[in-house]
A and B are shown apart, each in its own frame.
Chain A
């Protein structure tokens, strides 16, 4: 049985038992490792393709060589930003996992004292953290897909159009990274909020325990 109680200082849920992890935190527990592995694989692929492209440019003497370089440029950006998407997702999931540790651990300690368990309701910064991460992920994933589209159309499209796509997608990719970082800032800021709550709550427990 969980009830919602608004303390003057924090919005909390009150329950008889520890509430454990919420859904985003469970997802954080499961997803950080696959994202981490994807990041570790994607960055070297982009670097290897970059060496191939550099060699193509250095020896370029025909229009076909420049088309190959343009095509490789799109593939490199795509793989590089698969890496960034994966690593920023892994960081976001790891932050969610830490928030989960605080939620479950704080609840377990309160439960052990025999007190009612007060658990913070998801603060607005945590909701914005998830939203910002999701937007960043969608923007970067969309840019990566469009890089593959542009790469597959080199030779069909004019080289100028391919370059124009690269410029626009570059802007979106960087904005996507910015949204991820903004979300991570909000997630870490939520940890400060939780630490403040726990500093206050843990001081209230000895009185309950003594009774």
Chain B
């Protein structure tokens, strides 16, 4: 299964490195569609706020809630498509460096690996062979696809439930549909962000193994950064966010069954911010993943520059 998903994030045989990226075009188009959906729901909210008929106002707000989450989910799907495109391009660039660097590297005598070393970029290891993938990298390569696919499906399913919520408002039987809409859609949002996190983890895995392949091809000891604190925190925030997304889903199911409207309102009052806290945790993890990618890129660019200047 992992091998099948891997074909999506590696360039196909004979891929042209000069060609424009289709992932980029599809990603931009999806993001634009998502933004337009959000423009529609913004107008819907303004109309509802000025609607003198309170029933039709809350009916509008119900489907607007569902559609807004679909719009936001569509842009997150677009981000996933773009990240897949980055992974494909990253491997094409690694191929280019492997091809070109031997012709750029200064002459040097052979070196022996030094084991654990300190670098200006943090602790690293120097080995003769390419180090194995870390368990978290293997997990990222396995999990990104199911998370993105299931996440977006849940967001869409929740959008349909919001229509049931809207139509049930007139007879006052909307409580369950309201709770299920939020629970299902925000579980989907959480899974989409987890999928994006796994794609970022896959980018870090590709940088690690690609960097190893480039150094191996040059016949020099392979320097690999040890997992930095930002990467460890990234995994922690992602796990926290995903667990809370699942917890909020279960708690919304409980809230759907409470018997008084006042009690239901009380449950919604803290479940909304809880689901936002869950998304906030996932997004915080994504910041740290991006920062880690930036740090690894600096390490690798400086290493290649040193190869050209000094041969080591």
Contacts and interface: CB of A to CB of B under 8 A. Distances in A.
Interface of A: 9, 32, 36, 39-40, 43-44, 46-47, 49-51, 53-55, 57-58, 60, 69, 73, 76, 80, 83-84, 87-88, 90-91, 94-95, 97-98, 100-102, 104-106, 108-109, 112-113, 125, 164-165, 167-168, 170-172, 174-175, 177-179, 181-182, 184-186, 188-189, 191-193, 195-196, 198-200, 202-203, 205-206, 209-210
A206 B38 contact: no
Given A76-B273, A175-B38, A181-B76, A105 B104 contact: no
Interface in B254-282: 262-263, 265-267, 269-270, 272-274, 276-277, 280-281
Contacts of B269: 50, 53-54, 57, 69, 73
Nearest to B300: A105
Contacts of B272: 50, 76
Interface residues of B, number: 80
Contacts of A102: 297
Contacts, number: 225
A127 to B, nearest CB: 14
Question: What's the dominant secondary structure at chain B's contact region?
Answer: helix
Contacts of B263: 58
Nearest to B76: A181
Interface of B: 17-18, 20-21, 23-24, 27-28, 31-32, 34-35, 38-39, 41-46, 48-50, 57, 61, 64, 68, 71-72, 75-76, 78-79, 82-83, 85-86, 89-90, 92-93, 95-97, 99-100, 103-104, 262-263, 265-267, 269-270, 272-274, 276-277, 280-281, 283-284, 286-288, 290-291, 293-294, 297-298, 300-302, 304-305, 308-309
Given A46-B277, A112-B308, A175-B38, A198 B82 contact: no
19 contacts: A53-B269, A87-B280, A94-B290, A112-B305, A125-B28, A167-B57, A171-B43, A171-B45, A175-B38, A178-B34, A181-B79, A182-B75, A185-B78, A185-B82, A189-B24, A189-B28, A189-B85, A199-B18, A209-B103
